[in-house]
Amino acid sequence: MDAETVNVVVAGLGVSGAAAARALAARGERVTVLESADGERQRATAAELAELGVEVRFGEPALPAGTSLLVTSPGWRPTHPLLVAAADTGVEVIGEVELAWRLRQEPAAPWLALTGTNGKTTAVRMLTSMLSAAGHKAVAVGNVGVPIVEAVDGPYDVLAVELSSFQLHWSSTLAPLAGAVLNVAPDHIDWHGSMEEYAAAKARIFAGAGTVVYNADDASSSRLAEPYASRVGFTLAVPRPGQLGVVEDLLVDRAFVADPATSAEELCCLADVRPFAPHNVANALAAAALARAYGVPPEAVRRGLREFTPDPHRIAHVARVGEVDYVDDSKATNPHAAAASLAAYESVVWIAGGQLKGADIDDLVRQAAPRLRGAVLLGTDRDVIRRALARHAANVPVVDVPGQDTGVMDRVVTEAARLATPGDTVLLAPAGASLDMFASYGARGEAFARAVRRLAAR
C-alpha cells in the first residue's frame, strides 16, 4: 500500500470484509464498505466500523467517485456489476488475502500456503500442529480460522494459510515460502465459468512460491507444477527422489534430505494419521512437505500428527450398532470428496444426495460400485444419483427417501441399517451440498449422528 491516504472500497461486510476494513482504517486509509444485505448483524458491524471512521453504505450502491482500490469478499463473483465497473474504470480489484500480503511489515512471518478441491482444512490444521510441535508460534489463517489480514502483524513465527479458489482468483503477488495444491477436481464452476479458470485460480498459489508442493497422484496438481523447477511431490506410493511418500507402513521424506538420490528420512507411521483413510494420508504428506520446507524436524512431524484433532464431520466414526459401523463424512460435499471417502471402506451402504451443483456423478458411482452393498438417497438431486446407480451399479439395492422434514434423516438411517450386514460401514458421504435441507454440512452431519444414536438406543 502507498504511504499516502487513498480511497479504498471494501465490497461485503462479512468476516473477511470487516477485517479488511478494520485493517485499512488502522493504517489511516479512507474506507467505504458497500453491503447489499441490511440486517441486524450487518448494522451491528457497521456501528463498530463507524467508530473507526469507516462508512458503510447499504443497498446496491455504485462505485464511489475517486476510488483507488477495491477489496472484494471471496463470495462476490467476477461478473458482479460493481466489480465489472471497477475493472472498466481502471480500479484495481484485489481480495482480503492479497491485501494482507501487501500490508505485511518486515520482518514478516513467512507463509506456508495450500489449496485444493478437498482436504484443505484438514491439511492446514495438520500443518499447524506440526509447526507447533516444533516449537513455532503458528496459526491457521485464510479460508479457516483467523482472517489473514488480522494475523499478518501478529506474534507469529509462521502462518499456515488455507486458500480457496475464490481467494486465489483475486490474488496476484503472493509469494509464500512454500505453496501446495492438494488436488483439483470440478467444483465451483458456476463461479469461475469453466474448469480451466478454476484450475488457473488454484495455480496462482505456485506462481511466487519458493517451493512448489504437488500431488504426484493427481494429474491436475502435477500438471500445474510442471513449469517450476523447485517442486516437491507427495504420493501414496514409494517416493522417488524429490518426493514424500509411503514405504510399507511408514511416511518417508526423499526431498528434504541431504542426498535425495540415495537416502530417505522416516517421518511417522501410518497409524499416526487419524482418522485413517488414504486421502487423509495424502493430506498428512502434503502438510509434512510444507512443514519440512520450513525446516520442521521429523520428530515434530510425528508428534504434530499424533496431537492433531480432526474437525467434525470428516470421516468421523459415530457408533457401531449390531456389528455395523456408522461414519459421518458430511463434509464430502462434492463427488471428488465422496470418492475419497468411499475408497476408505471395503463394504459400504452409502448415504448420498443434496445439491450436486451440476457436478457429474458417473465416475464416482462407477469407481465405487464394487464396494457398494446398498445406497440410500435424500435431497434435491437424489434422482441424478439414482440414475447413475442404475447405469453403473444396477445390482445395488437403492432406497429413495423423499421429503424435507426433520424426520428424513431418521428414515434414512433406518433404511441404511436395514440394508447393512455385519462388517459393513454405513457412510454419510453425500457428494453434494447441504443447503437444500440443512443449514450447513455440519447440521446435516449432526442430524445423522442423532439418528444413529436413536437407532442404537432401540
CATH number at residue 350: 3.90.190.20
β-strands 324-328, 316-321 pairing? antiparallel
**Do residues 253 and 272 both lie within one domain?**
yes
What is the reported pLDDT for 62?
Answer: 83
Give backbone dihedrals phi and psi of 171, rounded to 5 degrees, phi first: -120, 130
Average pLDDT over residues 77-88: 91
Q: Is 380 annotated as a binding residue?
A: no
Same domain, 89 and 120: no
Among candidate residues 319, 337, 317, 294, the one with its CA nearest the CA of residue 434: 337
Q: 216 and 131, same structural domain? A: yes
Q: What is the mean pLDDT of residues 221-237?
A: 98
H-helix or E-strand containing 163? none
The pLDDT value recorded for residue 381 is 96
Three-class SS state of 440: coil
Question: Which residues 6+ apart lie within 8 Å of 393 measured at CB?
Answer: 365, 368, 369, 372, 375
Res 4 pLDDT > 60? no
Domain boundary among 281, 307, 333: 307
Which CATH number goes with the domain that contains 183? 3.40.1190.10
| Residue 410 and residue 380 share a domain | yes
- Does the annotation place 304 within a ligand binding site? no
Average pLDDT over residues 191-218: 94
pLDDT at residue 190, as a whole number: 77
Whole-number mean pLDDT of the chain?
94
pLDDT by residue (tens digit) across 399-420?
999 998 878 999 999 999 999 9
On whether both 348 and 266 belong to a single domain, the answer is no
Has residue 1 got a pLDDT over 70? Answer: no
Residue 148 falls inside a structural domain = yes
Question: Is residue 383 located within the same domain as residue 444?
Answer: yes
Of 57-66, 225-234, 388-397, the one with minimum mean pLDDT is 57-66
Higher pLDDT, 268 or 144: 268
Residue-wise pLDDT tens digits, 302-324: 999 999 998 899 999 999 999 99
Distance of CA 207 to the CA centre of its chain: 20
In angstroms, the CA 332 to CA 146 distance is 23
Who's near 457: CB < 8 A, 6+ residues apart?
Answer: none
Q: Are residues 254 and 351 in the same domain?
A: no
Query: Total domain count for the chain?
Result: 3
What are the residues facing 376 on neighbouring strands? 351, 399
Same structural domain, 92 and 110: no
| Residue 13 within a domain | yes
Tell me the three cell numbers of residue 162: 488455507
What's the rounded Cα separation, in Å, for the pair 140 and 124?
7
Tell me the mean pLDDT in the region 171-187.
Answer: 94
The pTM (predicted TM-score) of the whole model is: 0.88
Set of cell numbers at residue 213? 508442493
434 CA to centre of own chain: 16
121 is in an annotated binding site: yes
Please tell me the distance from the alpha carbon of residue 88 to that of residue 85, in angstroms, as a whole number. 5
How large a percentage of the chain has pLDDT more than 90? 86
Q: Decide if 278 is inside a domain.
A: yes
Instruction: Give domain status of residue 445, yes or no.
Output: yes
Residue 135 in grid coordinates: 516449537
Examine residue 2 and state whether it is found in any structural domain, yes or no.
Answer: no
pLDDT on residue 268:
98
pLDDT in tens, 247-289: 999 999 999 999 999 999 999 999 999 989 999 999 999 999 9
Cα separations in angstroms, 247 against 109, 127, 236, 290, 301: 34, 21, 9, 20, 17
- Residue 275's pLDDT is what? 87
pLDDT of residue 193: 81
Q: Are residues 112 and 130 in the same domain?
A: yes
Q: Is residue 1 part of a domain?
A: no
Q: Domain of 60: which CATH number?
A: 3.40.50.720
Does residue 324 contact residue 374 with C-beta atoms inside 8 Å? Answer: no
Q: Higher model confidence: residue 6 or residue 457?
A: 457
Report DSSP letters for 91-136, one per residue.
Answer: -EEEEHHHHHHHH--SSPPPEEEEE-SS-HHHHHHHHHHHHHHTT-
Task: Please give the Cα distance from 216 to 309 (Å, whole number).
Answer: 26
Mean pLDDT lowest among 36-45, 183-192, 401-410, 442-451: 183-192
Among candidate residues 282, 307, 332, the one where a domain is terminated: 307
Average pLDDT over residues 10-25: 93
Least trusted range by pLDDT, from 20-34, 182-196, 256-270, 389-403? 182-196
Query: Mean per-residue pLDDT for 213-224?
Result: 98
- 289 occurs within a structural domain: yes
Average the pLDDT over each of 70-84, 276-290, 348-362, 410-424 and give the range with the smallest value.
70-84
Angle 238-239-244 from CA coordinates, rounded to 5°: 120
Instruction: Note whether 268 and 392 are same-domain residues.
Output: no
116 marked among binding-site residues: yes
More reliable by pLDDT, 439 or 144: 439
Q: Place 3 in a pLDDT band, splitting at 50, 70 and 90.
A: very low
Same domain for 206 and 119: yes
Q: Do the annotations mark residue 118 as ligand-binding?
A: yes
What confidence score (pLDDT) does residue 367 get? Answer: 96
The DSSP output letter for 355 is B
**pLDDT confidence tier of residue 5, bands split at 50, 70 and 90:** low
Q: How does residue 188 score in pLDDT terms, banded at 50, 70 and 90? A: confident
C-beta contacts of 230-236 below 8 A and 24+ residues apart: 232/256, 232/289, 232/293, 234/282, 234/285, 234/286, 234/288, 234/289, 235/285, 236/278, 236/281, 236/282, 236/285
137 is in an annotated binding site: no
Domain boundary among 68, 99, 130: 99
Q: Measuring CA to CA, which residue among 25, 72, 15, 29 is closest to residue 49?
A: 25
Domain residues for 81?
A: 7-99
User: What is the residue type of 116?
Assistant: G
Q: Is 442 annotated as a binding residue?
A: no
Please state, as a whole number, how many other Cβ atoms lie within 10 Å of the Cβ of residue 407.
11
Do residues 230 and 121 both lie within one domain? yes
pLDDT of 443 above 60: yes
